[in-house]
Every structure is written in C-alpha cells, then in structure tokens.
Structure 1
C-alpha cells in the first residue's frame, strides 16, 4: 500500500469530537474476511491475533474481558434521532459522529435532552479506515480503563452497520481549541494547556507500561476534553501491541499523520514505543506555539513546525519569538524554557535518546510546580505590599 499519511496542512475535516485519522488505512468492512463469530470471541474475552494485554498501572486497569454493551442498530438509531443533521457532531476518515442519548442505568435509548449524552461513531461503508480499525478500537478500548483514555461504552455490528458508542466529551478536541475553528472558543490559558499536556502524558505513560501498547497516531485532534478540560486520548484504530521477547521494535506498514510521525518510522517502518514520544513532542510544540505541525499557508521554511522552530527551543530569547502570543504574561520564562527543552528531548532524531513517557510526565509535573511556586510568590508579595502602612503625611500648622 506504500506510505499512507493524512495531512494537517489545512483545517482538518475531522469531527470536533472523537475524530478519526484521515485517509490513512486501506481496509473496509466489505473487504475483511474476519467473521462475526471470531469477533464474538474477542468481545467475550478471548485473546486474538494481536495478543493479550497483561500489564497494569496504579492509575488504570486492564480488564480480563471487554466490559462493553452490544447495541442493536435500531437502538442507536433511536438514541441519535435517526442520525438527523441536528445531531451530527462532525465527520472524519472513519465516518460520521452523532450525538445520542441513553438511559444511564441500562443504556437503552432515551429522549433527547434526558439521560446521558453519548457520541456515536458510524462507519461509512466506503471508509478507507474500515473494519480492522473498528475491531482494534473495540479490542483496546474495551479492555483498557484509565482516567485519561476516552471510555468506550459499547459497539454495534448489525449486518453492514458498524458503530461505536463513547462517553461524550463536551469540550471537543485539543485541536479545536488550539487552532480555534470556532471563533467563539476562548484561547486556552497556560495553566489549562499544561493540565491538558499532563493528562495526555499520563494516558500515554499508562499505555506504554511494560512497553506493551504503541498508540501510533498521537496528535491534537485525538486528545479530547471533558467539561473540566481533563484530557483523554481517543481513537485506537492504529494502536499496536509493542515489541516482545527482547525485540526493540515492531515492523509494520507505515500509517499515521504527516507532521506527527517519528522519522525512524517513516524511513523504515520500525515502530518503537518512543515513536509515540516523538508525536507527543510535536503536540507539546503546538501547545507552546499555538501553531499547527504542518501548514502550507505559512511562508516557505516555516511550513513544517518542527524543522522551523527546533533551533529556537534551547534559547530563552529565541523561544519568546515563537511562543503563542495569546498566553503572553501567563507563564514564567523559566517554566516556558523547561517546557521547550523537554519538547526538544522528545523530538530527538534517535529514538533511544528520547525520554520515556514516564520521564516526560515527571518533567511536566515539575514545570507545573515551578508555575505554582511563582504564582504563590507573586501572591505573597502582593499581599505583603497591600498591608504595608502608608507613609504618614506631615501637616504643618
């Protein structure tokens, strides 16, 4: 199939919630030989050809079997008001995403405006992503449970209809907020950006525990935000189980999104756990600069964000020229420089030189501490100055 990348050079057609990777996989439901009876074995907890998920983490868990509801197409059609236009959240490579309503207790269809809001992803039969990604999503998200991974509630396979049902993420994607497709969206503050980066890092660190799951398509549109701007990683269609038996990498057909994919993966097809770290570095760079990883509308030499800004990340003076103007004055120069230096480490050309996601998370938490201390210091000084006695005026008589 060759190199199959989606480009982020212009505003993405991905939906504001649960966006899929665009045009990057050559499978469809109609071309798969994978039978429904085989899928039922996966859904009931059998290990499939991808292997098991044996690791665990203090902040998350691996379920022995997917804890998912099997929906009928009729129920989801009813929950999403027959998939009418006013429930459409957006459209991506996988298909369309609709808003739906389910009863919180038994997950049966509920009237619009009542019960629990969900997002229903409906496969387009002509989709280039198709069945294999749908299966991967069920297999991974059905078993992985973590506060920073989006929750998959269930699935539907009804003849030719393939659907996935997720928790609804009211704030949409990080991409929408950083690049503000909607002019009514307020710019993200430095504090919120740091919170989102830390949440996403926790999610990736969990996936990498024991070097078992490589996410493979880390980008701003796949980071979703709940009502409190807590970050959750979504879209596991390209996820792979990582190297085993002493291997350093897995070799696979190159898939992903241009601008975020690691150089060694593009060049060789060798996929490392630290290939995800590179993608995280690109997103961190977008968070700092407020600019897209790839944008052909920028001047020549500035279209690829990593190539253009990398020389600026180790200098406090140069860094100032690329930082997002919308957060000016909200961060300490020390915190910004540390964030830039951490980004630079993630973007190392040699995967062995990149930090682990655990180390990245620790670095981000240290930056958050710097910011909190700076804020406390300013508050104390302000409080102290406000309580100083004003000079007494001498009145001569």
Structure 2
C-alpha cells in the first residue's frame, strides 16, 4: 500500500498506460530490426547491420596484460592497439556457443547513453569474454558504501543525477519491442563514467555472469520471491530500493546492523508509515551532513515508496519515474526551487 510521505505529492489515481506494442514486421534474414519507443507517440525503427567485433584472445591478453588466470565476472581494464580503453570480462562456460553469440549480437545493438556499450567478444576454447567500454569511476557501490576515511562521499546533487541516469536507461529498455527487463539493478551493477554519469552494466548478458545467477536478495520483489513472477514492474521495485540506497547511504542488506535494520526496505517502509518530518529527515545519509534540499528529500522518499508497492500493478510506470527523478535532479542543493 502506498504510504503518504510528508512533502511528497500524492500518487495519481491512475498512471498513464504503457504504449501498445507495434506490429511485427518482416525485415528479412539479413537484418535485425529493433523498435525503440522514444516517446509515447513516436517510434523509431533501427535497422542494424553492424556486427560486434570478434577479438582474438591474443589481442585481449596484450590489452590487459594477462587474462589466463582472471576470475569470472570481474572487469579487467586495458588499451587496444588503436588506443581505445576497454574493460574485459570473463563469463561462465555453461551456455552453448551459438546462444552466447546470438545474445552478444543482440546486446551489441543497444545504443543509449545510460547503458554500458558492448564493443565485442572473444571465444577461446571453452572460455568466453565480452569487451565493454571502460567506466573509469567503477561502480556506484564503490562510492556509496564502506568509504575509506579519505574518500569524499557523493553529494545530494550527484546522487539524484545518478538516479536519473538509471531511470533513463530502464526507460529505453522498457520501451523496446518486446520490452527488455533488466532484473539486476543494484549499486554493484550501476557503473559510473566521467562526471558520475551512470550506466546499466551487463544488459542482456547477465545470465552468463555468475554473480547474477541469483538477484541480490535485497532487491527482489515480493512476487518474485513468492511465485517467481518477473515483469517491467520488477525493475521499478528494484529502482525503489536503489533510490533508498542513494538517499540513506545504507546497503540493501547489511547484516552488521542491529535486528530490524538489516533489510533496507523493511526498515524504510516502517519509518515511512510515520507522517513526520523529523522521522523522514533522520533517514538521510549522515554523510550528507544535512546538505540537501528538504523538499527533494521528501519527494525522493515519496517516489521510492510508490516504487516499493507490494502490488506490482500499483507501481508507477517508468515514464512517471523518469519525470519525477528528473525534477529531483534539477532541484540542486541551494537553488531557490529546491528550498521553496
């Protein structure tokens, strides 16, 4: 059930409906056609003849220094001969070669500023590798949790900018035909580029990644845990968890905290039942040191509460989330809009 958060807007009685799927078209065996909804009333057709680059194993060894003993599901940075900076990841081996190549081809056609670009692949014996653009600032988790004493925490404006990027990446996937369900939102899977530009990682190849074999428990939806049901609203729920992480600075699951505070969603939803400014202000990350616009804090908690609705059909669509989180990102700390 939706919880009214003081300072947040009431949820609409009915969210806008998702746009109807476009009719299938026959593009012939030599073309892959992806239909991408840019807006609710505009569809852009992409005919993609470009193939992902097939790397020789020796090229990747030269680029990274050594891959022969690299661990599964870890990124290894390197420079190609043309100077391009890339990240190489070794995947697990229990999938068929044709299945892997087909998935890599499809994923390489995804083109959005908030999705990590897959450049190419490599097969070497039974080993399989994927090559991505390098995200120099690492994962969101590296900048949000367990910070060393000399590391500056993320400020409010940066956190909301990161949330906006994640929402826009999800919107792109959900508006494809058929919709692509990401399923694996977590602070570990959101990678950051220059200026803390956020991108979704491992889109489409998560099934080949050992750490994605089970979605991190703290991001699971109730319906997934109960009956294994997955939909685009599963991503919406997980986004709500991520938004809570950004606001509170807490991990989705933290077994080092006292009983009752180990599960972020359970702890936050309990506090959100209280219509109290004091209670909600206490949820903000202490590392922010009160440097955030109060109205934006209440609005962010309101949006997270809507995303975490236990009933999937009552969670907002991704377009609504993008609109709201974009407003949050525009309300920078210290601005007249933010403090009004």
Report the TM-score, using the length of structure 2 for normalisation: 0.79
Q: Deviations over 1:65-113 (max 9, x none)?
A: 454111011111111112389xx7xx5xx43321111144xxxxxxxxx
Corresponding residue of 1:8: none
Q: How does 1:375-390 map to 2 (within 5 A)?
A: 375-376=335-336
Q: Deviations over 1:187-242 (max 9, x none)?
A: 000010011000111000111115611111111111100011100100125669xx
Q: How does 1:59-138 map to 2 (within 5 A)?
A: 62=46, 64-65=48-49, 67-83=51-67, 94-104=72-82, 115-123=83-91, 125=93, 138=104
Structure 1 residue 305 displacement after superposition:
0.6
Corresponding residue of 1:186: 152
Q: SS of 1:187's equivalent?
A: coil
Corresponding residue of 1:176: 142
Q: 1:311 to 1:95 in 2, by over 3 A?
A: closer
Q: How does 1:244-263 map to 2 (within 5 A)?
A: 255-263=214-222
Structure 1 residue 123 displacement after superposition:
2.9
Separation (CA, whole Å) in 2 of partners of 1:61 and 1:151: 19
Structure 1 residue 332 displacement after superposition:
1.4
Q: Does residue 1:204 correspond to 2:170, yes or no? A: yes
- Unpaired stretches in structure 2, ≥5 consecutive residues: 1-28, 208-212
Q: Which region of structure 1 is more displaced relative to structure 2, 71-80 or 137-146?
A: 137-146
Q: 1:131 to 1:368 in 2, by over 3 A?
A: same
Separation (CA, whole Å) in 2 of partners of 1:120 and 1:72: 13
Separation (CA, whole Å) in 1 of partners of 2:95 and 2:36: 28
Separation (CA, whole Å) in 1 of partners of 2:125 and 2:251: 40
Q: 1:263 to 1:46 in 2, by over 3 A?
A: farther
Separation (CA, whole Å) in 2 of partners of 1:223 and 1:375: 28
- How many aligned residue pairs are there? 300
Q: Does residue 1:225 correspond to 2:185, yes or no? A: no
Q: 1:369 to 1:228 in 2, by over 3 A?
A: closer
Q: What is the root-mean-square deviation of aligned Cα atoms in Å?
A: 3.1
Separation (CA, whole Å) in 1 of partners of 2:64 and 2:91: 14
Corresponding residue of 1:340: 301
Structure 1 residue 54 displacement after superposition:
2.8
Report the TM-score, using the length of structure 1 for normalisation: 0.68
Q: SS of 2:38's equivalent?
A: coil
